[in-house]
Structure formats: structure tokens, C-alpha cells
């Protein structure tokens, strides 16, 4: 076993950001708790970030910029997660993302009901507003590269397990398989190193979460096909995405067609009927048939997506971020922004608690990140959870949901909340009107369901 610095050749000096960098690049000196002991021999705090997606990349960058010795372990550097790839407008500026990472700027969203009633959404968007569409393999690689430029060491390896310290302020031992094509070992070379804290950003099947006893959660299976369609058909999706709802495409989620750089992503997901996912995918393709006809499937992807936060997200000096923590919203299935945001918030809490890497962190430092994340985003998760329970429960309710989406006030409130990641306060009179319309839609949906049941019987 070796120290982190010798295992991955990390420099021990404090890492500052290059001059002239972004507003996030400047190192901020912070004050640690009085009880937090100084690290011996002038060494820096050592943190392992497990997982190189948006959560891991954002965490590693913020840690390295904050003076923390950081190693990021990622198993698959070209990973293509089956993800719709939608990011809110605020993420582009907040995370200083270059615009060439955005494949498509979606300004038109078509919501299609079980009976194929289509509603166009996006009329309330300002000219500069859009939903960004990215490819995960491109975004993830960029964030890892930026973390590496900030001073983090990026290691191609598979995390195996960690050993907890046997004494207060002792080191955690991280065990992993190191992948190096030059050593000729197909399965990787087993290695280990010591750290002071671990950030688990290793997705829904998190091994870090398993080691820390974080508990189980409900998860959805997402299935997606990347389809190269003819150029004339691609024009339709230039600034447009589609969402299909109905029992045929998913009993508890939705099907989608999202545009990428030169192809579309066609997919669906479900929590309750995982064994039928391919049947739902076939139905999604059938619904979109006229618009993707003649297309060639160039990649097939499947992955679990968490449905709610894990029962435990911190234990000692180990914590979870992103999908590993369960930060995916109900109803929309959004997770990229919340992954990156939680990774950065966690890292900033560690930097603050360690006084820029000069002191040991404690569990209380990590809990500050959890408290702030929950304070900011719990209302969003709760609202979307309620929407899913109300409107995804039957085809009739989905018809009502699509009908509601035709309302300009609903569209404005929805897009403002999504694009800027805040629960937007509404106009009281419009809220009353919306409540009446919602009740009316649900009443009509209930009547429709009863009539449909009669026909079925």
C-alpha cells in the first residue's frame, strides 16, 4: 500500500487556479472549525473521488482548485450513459461550459398524449433561452479534463472497496484495479492508496454506497437507442425534442426523442415494469415512426436511474453525490445538473472545512453540504414527485397533463423553474386560474377513464 501522492504522482503543493480564469477559478481561503486538527508535516488533505461523470468531474475540479490533493478514479473513460442529455440554461453559465459542448439548443418541445394529441411547448421562451442537449461522453470527458487541468489526478481504474480507519483521523485505504494498456494485464493491476476522505460519485450502482451501508432505493431502468436518421428528417429535430406519454411507452415515466449533433436519442424508462423495457422501447419507436423512419441504430444503451435519495448519504468522512446519492428528479428524470451541483457543493464544503486542504475534515463538514443541497432543492424534488403521482397514474390523467401543458402560464412557470433551477412564485390570480383548470382537466380525465373502462368491460 502506498500514499496517495506516490501512488498516482500527485504534487503536494497547494493548487491555485491559473490567472485570468473564470469566476470559479479563484482560490478562496476559508476558515475551518476550531476543533479540526492541522494536518501533520505540512501535507495537504487527500481526497479520492470515485466516478468521473458530471458529479465526479465537478467535485474533483473544485477540490483541486481549493488546495486539496485529489485523485479521480473512472472505470470507463468513453462511457456513454443512456441519458437524454438535457441541461438547463443556468448550467452553461454556472459551470462555464463552452457552447460547442451543446449539440442542440432546443426551443420547441412537443408533448404527445396517449391518444396522440400533440401540444407544442416553448412559446414563452425568450430568444436567448433554450434547453441544451449534450452527449454524456463529451460532457463527462470535458469536466474530467478541466479537473485534471486544475491539478486533480485522473486515473483509469475500477474502484473495488475501501477500508475505514481504525483510529480517529486515520486514513481510509482505497483499493482499485488500475487499467494500463502497457502492462498487458487485461483485468487491471490491483493497487491501493490512502486518503482522508472519499466522495462517491459512482452512479446508481455505487460501490462506495454499498461499502458505507447507504441503503437501497427504488430505481428506474432507462433504455435508449441512438438513431442516425436521414438529413431531411433531422431538420425537424434541429431545435425540437419530443416526449411521449402513455401506458404503451411506459406505465410510470415517458418516452423521448431528443436531438444530438448528427442523430437522435430515442428512449424510455420504467420503475414498475423493468422486464418489459424493450416492449416500451418498441412502442416509443412506433409512436415516432414517421419522423425517424429510415434511421439506423448506431448505439444501444441501458442503465439504472435512482428514484429518490438514499437513506444515508454520509458516513464518517465518506459521502455521496449525483446518482450515487439518488439526485434524480421524479416526473422529468433530470439528473445532470443536480449531479454537477452536488459534486461542487460537496467539494466546496470539504475545502471550507479543511481551510483549503490544511486541516482534517469531519463528518459535520460533509453534513453541511447535505443540509444546503436539501434546502435549495427539496422543494423541486417534492413538486415533481407530486406531479408524477397525480399525472402518470393512468392514460386519462396523462391526457389531462398534456392538456394542461397547452396553457401559456403553465409553460412559463415550468420553463422558468427548469432553466434557472428555482421554484418560481406565481401570480396569485393566475395560480387560481391554473388550479381551476387543473381540477377541470382531472375531472375530465376521470370521466374519460370510466368511459374507457366501460368499453374495455
pLDDT tens digits along 288-332: 999 999 999 999 999 898 988 999 999 999 999 999 999 998 888
Q: Find the helix or strand (DSSP H, E) in which 47 lies.
A: strand 46-50
Return the pLDDT at 386. 85
Report the top-level CATH class of 40-85+135-218+307-389: alpha beta
Count CA atoms within 13 Å of residue 353 on its CB side.
23
Q: What is each CA distance from 3 to 60, 69, 193, in whole angstroms?
A: 18, 11, 5
Return the pLDDT at 442. 52
Return the pLDDT at 183. 56
Lowest-pLDDT choice from 225-229, 359-363, 404-408, 433-437: 433-437
Return the pLDDT at 446. 56
Q: pTM of the full predicted structure?
A: 0.86
177-226 residue pLDDT tens: 999 866 556 678 999 999 999 999 999 999 999 999 999 888 899 999 99
Q: Check whether 117 has a pLDDT greater than 70.
A: yes
User: Taking all residues of the chain, what is their mean pLDDT, rounded to a whole number?
Assistant: 86
Task: Convert 258-288 to b/e letters by CB count within 10 Å (16 or more is b).
Answer: bbbeebbbbbbbbbeeeeebeebbebbbebb
70-98 residue pLDDT tens: 999 999 888 776 677 899 999 999 999 99
Return the pLDDT at 10. 38
User: Is-contact 312 368, C-beta < 8 A?
Assistant: no
- Please state, as a whole number, how many other Cβ atoms lie within 10 Å of the Cβ of residue 175: 15
Supply angle C-alpha 204, 382, 116, rounded to 5: 85
Q: What is each CA distance from 106 to 31, 40, 81, 98, 420, in whole angstroms?
A: 43, 52, 20, 17, 15
Return the pLDDT at 445. 55
Q: Check whether 268 has a pLDDT greater than 80.
A: yes
* Gap between the Cα atoms of 156 and 72, Å rounded: 9
The arithmetic mean of pLDDT across residues 94-122, rounded, is 95
The arithmetic mean of pLDDT across residues 333-351, rounded, is 96
User: Is-contact 120 110, C-beta < 8 A?
Assistant: yes
Describe the strand order of the beta sheet including 69-74 as a list of residue ranges: 2-3, 189-195, 172-178, 153-163, 69-74, 46-50, 197-200, 318-320, 314-315
Task: Convert 431-455 to b/e letters by CB count within 10 Å (16 or more is b).
Answer: eeebeebbeebbeebeebbeeeeee
Lowest-pLDDT choice from 15-19, 274-278, 387-391: 15-19
The CATH topology of domain 219-306 is D-Amino Acid Oxidase; Chain A, domain 2 (3.30.9)
Return the pLDDT at 110. 96
Residue 403 or residue 196, greater confidence = 196
Q: Check whether 59 has a pLDDT greater than 60.
A: yes
Return the pLDDT at 19. 32
Residue 447 or residue 168, greater confidence = 168
The arithmetic mean of pLDDT across residues 127-146, rounded, is 95
Return the pLDDT at 62. 98
Residue 38 or residue 348, greater confidence = 348
pLDDT > 90 in the chain, percent: 66
Amino acid at each position: 500500500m502506498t500514499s496517495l501522492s506516490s501512488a498516482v504522482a500527485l504534487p503536494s503543493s497547494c493548487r491555485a487556479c491559473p490567472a485570468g480564469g473564470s469566476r470559479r477559478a479563484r482560490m478562496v481561503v476559508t476558515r475551518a472549525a476550531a476543533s479540526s486538527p492541522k494536518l501533520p508535516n505540512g501535507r495537504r488533505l487527500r481526497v479520492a473521488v470515485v466516478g468521473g461523470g458530471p458529479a465526479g468531474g465537478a467535485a474533483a475540479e473544485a477540490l483541486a482548485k481549493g488546495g486539496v490533493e485529489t485523485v479521480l478514479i473512472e472505470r470507463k473513460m468513453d462511457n456513454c450513459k443512456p441519458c437524454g442529455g438535457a441541461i438547463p440554461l443556468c448550467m452553461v453559465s454556472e459551470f462555464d461550459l463552452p457552447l460547442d459542448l451543446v449539440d442542440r439548443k432546443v426551443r420547441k418541445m412537443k408533448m404527445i398524449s396517449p391518444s396522440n394529441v400533440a401540444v407544442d411547448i416553448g412559446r414563452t421562451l425568450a430568444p436567448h433561452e433554450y434547453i441544451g442537449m449534450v452527449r454524456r461522453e463529451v460532457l463527462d470527458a470535458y469536466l474530467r479534463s478541466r479537473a485534471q487541468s486544475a491539478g486533480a489526478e485522473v486515473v483509469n481504474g475500477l474502484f473495488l472497496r475501501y477500508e475505514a480507519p481504525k483510529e480517529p483521523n486515520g486514513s481510509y485505504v482505497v483499493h482499485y484495479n488500475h487499467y494500463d494498456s502497457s502492462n498487458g494485464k487485461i483485468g487491471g493491476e490491483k493497487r491501493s492508496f490512502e486518503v482522508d476522505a472519499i466522495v462517491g460519485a459512482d452512479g446508481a450502482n455505487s460501490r462506495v454506497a454499498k461499502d458505507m451501508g447507504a441503503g437501497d432505493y427504488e430505481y428506474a431502468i432507462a433504455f435508449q437507442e441512438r438513431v442516425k436518421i436521414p438529413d431531411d428528417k433531422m431538420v425537424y429535430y434541429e431545435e425540437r425534442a419530443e416526449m411521449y406519454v402513455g401506458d404503451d411507452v411506459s406505465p410510470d415515466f415517458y418516452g423521448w426523442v431528443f436531438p444530438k449533433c448528427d442523430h437522435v436519442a430515442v428512449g424510455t424508462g420504467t420503475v414498475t415494469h423493468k422486464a418489459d423495457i424493450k416492449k416500451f422501447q418498441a412502442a416509443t419507436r412506433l409512436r415516432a415512426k414517421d419522423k425517424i423512419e429510415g434511421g439506423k441504430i448506431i448505439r444501444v444503451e441501458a442503465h439504472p436511474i435512482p428514484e429518490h435519495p438514499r437513506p444515508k448519504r454520509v458516513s464518517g468522512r465518506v459521502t455521496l453525490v449525483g446518482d450515487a446519492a439518488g439526485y434524480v428528479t421524479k416526473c422529468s428524470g433530470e439528473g445532470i445538473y443536480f449531479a454537477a451541483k452536488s459534486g461542487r457543493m460537496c467539494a466546496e464544503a470539504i475545502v471550507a472545512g479543511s481551510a483549503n486542504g490544511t486541516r482534517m475534515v469531519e463528518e459535520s463538514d460533509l453534513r453541511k453540504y447535505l443540509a444546503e443541497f436539501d434546502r435549495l432543492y427539496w422543494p423541486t424534488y417534492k413538486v415533481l414527485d407530486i406531479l408524477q403521482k397525480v399525472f402518470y397514474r393512468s392514460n386519462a390523467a396523462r391526457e389531462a397533463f398534456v392538456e394542461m401543458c397547452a396553457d401559456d402560464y403553465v409553460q412559463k412557470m415550468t420553463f422558468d423553474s427548469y432553466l434557472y433551477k428555482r421554484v418560481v412564485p406565481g401570480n396569485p390570480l393566475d395560480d387560481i386560474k391554473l388550479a381551476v383548470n387543473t381540477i377541470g382537466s382531472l375531472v375530465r380525465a376521470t370521466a374519460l377513464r370510466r368511459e374507457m373502462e366501460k368499453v374495455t368491460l
